Amino acid sequence: MSVEISLCTYLSARNEHLAQTLPNWLRVRGIGEIVIFDWGSAPVKAWDVVKQYRDPRIVYLEGTGTERFHRSISRNVSIRASTGRILFHPDADVKVVGSSLPRLPGPCQFIRGGGRSGATGQMGKTVGTVLMWREQWEKVNGYNELMFGWGGEDLDFYKRLRGENMEEVRTTSAFFHLDHPDALRVLGQDNSIQQSVRDNGKISETVDWSDKSTYRQRAMTCIRRCNGKETIVTL
């Protein structure tokens, strides 16, 4: 199956948020596929939320390894599993405002949430949400898997897109972030938000991304559930 717009998301131990965002996404016009990748939710998997919906557009993936959650790898896995030419990539705690996406990006544009510097409130916390063309993600080799912990991988990704002459369009009104404690952002990792952002910022500044041979996306073996069928896939 090939679709025009794929929604690709990822999570770990965020079932309470997915229970609010998934019905919202299902109501958004134009989304032909919803890929949900769960890595490490315990003791309850995201499948407990997803199985309540018998919508053929939903593709559920569950990581089979025992390693800790990794944001950039999870982002890339969810996107690799999708089929759409246009990728809508929200965090699992982000809703769409209204019943449609803002607008589709132009051929050399990507649209990201969070607005301009200084944006506040729950619409200002959607920086990691992006609407883009699949070719753009492919051109920069996806999200930076050398980064670990919370924060920075989205800004690094946008920087590399701009480096390929892609125009960044920002919106403060299209997406809404569900409020939650910062502790959920760093669940299962060893360092703080501030330390993660600093460490990942250093990686973004020091790696030469013009040499794309230095970067490889890691394969992941997953359980895949869609339309009542369960298979094991490597993405």
Report the alpha-carbon distance of residue 161 to residue 24 in Å, rounded. 28
- Report pLDDT digits (tens) over 99-150: 999 889 999 999 999 854 444 455 458 999 999 999 999 999 999 888 776 6
Report the alpha-carbon distance of residue 22 to residue 34 in Å, rounded. 9
CATH architecture of 5-234: Alpha-Beta Complex (3.90)
Residue ranges of the chain with per-residue pLDDT less than 50: 1, 116-120, 123
Contact 113, 129 (CB under 8 A): yes
User: First CA to last CA across the chain, in angstroms?
Assistant: 17
Report the alpha-carbon distance of residue 207 to residue 159 in Å, rounded. 13
Pick from 104, 111, 76, 92: nearest CA to 24: 92
